[in-house]
């Protein structure tokens, strides 16, 4: 019995400009307003990189929160705020978090709180659960926590799997607790799990496009069998991300026996919104001869941010369940990333993009977000 993954092409985001944008939507935004004047010159140029979470294991979910006083004479900062990515396999770029850049008006001596989100986590197929064991992973914490796709495995199946958990949002927060800049964390990667005879073709999976932010597709080589499923929607400044639509996508093939589906869950409302937790589904063959041939799979969870991202939908099907070439397959969509925000009264020249592919995570470890502050004299 085999399962194989295929690296997809990078999913790119285009840009558009919105003047003085209040309700941000993704994929990209620039928020423009007059740049604040410097009240006085500072004495020395410099930069500050906020401390980041340093632990990368499955249980290391904590964000890093620090305070930072604005130096004397500094009235404006250039900022880069990057959310933490969702859990993913190396080379899959769809779980990228959001990066927000611009300039921020500040007061010398003002104390800012800097929240750097922790990344989501992804672990591949599990085939031998033990007592007290859970599949999936908890989301990374942050300014808006990433969603979880943890679940308790059902005994007697053949394989248990999950997409990635969500990454936490990163933020610059004013002394009164109100957010000044928020960058959403990435949604967890989607996943497909199939159990097939050794004589049958492997399953491959890759992201695909749909009008609502993308989907996930899997196909079995040497056959006409395919499955597709919707991703969770992105969170924005004005709204949470909805769960992936279970009615979008399908399973098809000349020997499809049964299809079951679940829509994903919606993210939570902000201004510190958590990403949606992911659903999981058990699916097995309906023939008594293969009663123990089954899989359990959780979809990708949503990213945290100003408003949380939605989790992916789930589809499951079985093929040729009375024949020697049986296949049991399930597929879960990717989670949507969390929403972003910038205070229009204090932020200028704001731009929003996906973080660089070079900053992506590898399988079996978390990757944190990032905050850089720079001033010039």
Q: What is the rounded distance in angstroms from the CA atom of residue 65 to the CA atom of residue 69?
A: 14
For 58, the token pair is 């499955």
Q: How sure is the predictor about 246, in pLDDT bands with cuts at 50, 70 and 90?
A: confident
Q: What is the rounded distance in angstroms from the CA atom of residue 115 to the CA atom of residue 158?
A: 41
Q: How sure is the predictor about 27, in pLDDT bands with cuts at 50, 70 and 90?
A: very low
Q: How sure is the predictor about 39, in pLDDT bands with cuts at 50, 70 and 90?
A: very low
Distances (CA, A) of 22 to 66, 144, 239, 271, 310: 27, 19, 12, 13, 21
Q: What is the rounded distance in angstroms from the CA atom of residue 135 to the CA atom of residue 297?
A: 9
With helix as H, strand as E and coil as C, how does 294-347 read?
EEEEECCCCCCECCCCCCCCEEEEEECCCCCCCEEEEEECCCCCCCCEECCCCE
- Say yes or no to pLDDT of 232 above 80: yes
User: In whole angstroms, what separates CA 237 from the centre of its chain?
Assistant: 17
What is the model's pTM? 0.85
Q: What is the rounded distance in angstroms from the CA atom of residue 369 to the CA atom of residue 377?
A: 27
Closest CA to 274 of 284, 266, 285, 263: 266
**Tens digit of each residue's pLDDT (9 = 90 or more) over 138-151:** 999 999 999 999 98
> DSSP letter at 103?
E
- Say yes or no to pLDDT of 286 above 70: no
Q: What is the rounded distance in angstroms from the CA atom of residue 306 to the CA atom of residue 304?
A: 7
8 A C-beta contact, residue 324 and residue 252:
no
């Amino acid at each position: 019995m085999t399962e194989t993954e295929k690296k997809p092409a990078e999913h790119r985001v285009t840009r558009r400009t919105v003047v003085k944008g209040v309700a941000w939507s993704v994929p990209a935004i620039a928020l423009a307003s007059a740049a604040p004047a410097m009240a006085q010159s500072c004495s020395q140029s410099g930069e500050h990189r906020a401390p980041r979470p340093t632990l990368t294991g499955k249980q290391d979910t904590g964000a890093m929160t620090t305070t930072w006083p604005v130096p004397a004479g500094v009235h404006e900062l250039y900022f880069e705020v990057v959310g933490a990515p969702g859990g993913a396999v190396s080379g899959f770029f769809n779980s990228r978090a959001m990066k927000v850049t611009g300039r921020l008006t500040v007061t010398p001596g003002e104390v800012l709180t800097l929240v750097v989100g922790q990344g989501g986590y992804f672990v591949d197929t599990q085939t031998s659960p033990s007592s007290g064991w859970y599949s999936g992973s908890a989301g990374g914490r942050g300014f808006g926590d990433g969603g979880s796709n943890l679940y308790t495995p059902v005994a007697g199946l053949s394989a248990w799997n999950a997409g990635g958990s969500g990454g936490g949002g990163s933020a610059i927060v004013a002394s009164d607790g109100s957010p000044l800049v928020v960058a959403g964390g990435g949604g967890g990667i989607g996943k497909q799990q199939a159990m097939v005879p050794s004589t049958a073709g492997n399953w491959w999976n890759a992201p695909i496009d749909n009008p609502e932010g993308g989907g996930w597709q899997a196909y079995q080589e040497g056959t006409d069998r395919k499955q597709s499923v919707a991703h969770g929607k992105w969170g924005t400044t004005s709204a949470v991300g909805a769960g992936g639509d279970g009615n979008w996508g399908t399973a098809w093939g000349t020997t499809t026996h049964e299809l079951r589906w679940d829509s994903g869950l919606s993210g939570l409302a902000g201004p510190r919104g958590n990403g949606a937790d992911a659903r999981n589904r058990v699916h097995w063959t309906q023939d008594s001869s293969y009663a123990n041939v089954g899989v359990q799979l959780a979809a990708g969870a949503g990213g945290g941010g100003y408003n949380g991202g939605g989790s992916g939908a789930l589809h499951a099907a079985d093929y040729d369940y009375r024949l020697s070439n049986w296949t049991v397959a399930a597929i879960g969509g990717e989670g949507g990333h969390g929403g972003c925000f910038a205070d229009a009264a204090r932020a200028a020249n704001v731009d929003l993009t996906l973080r660089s592919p070079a900053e992506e995570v590898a399988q079996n470890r978390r990757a944190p977000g990032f905050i850089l502050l720079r001033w010039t004299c």
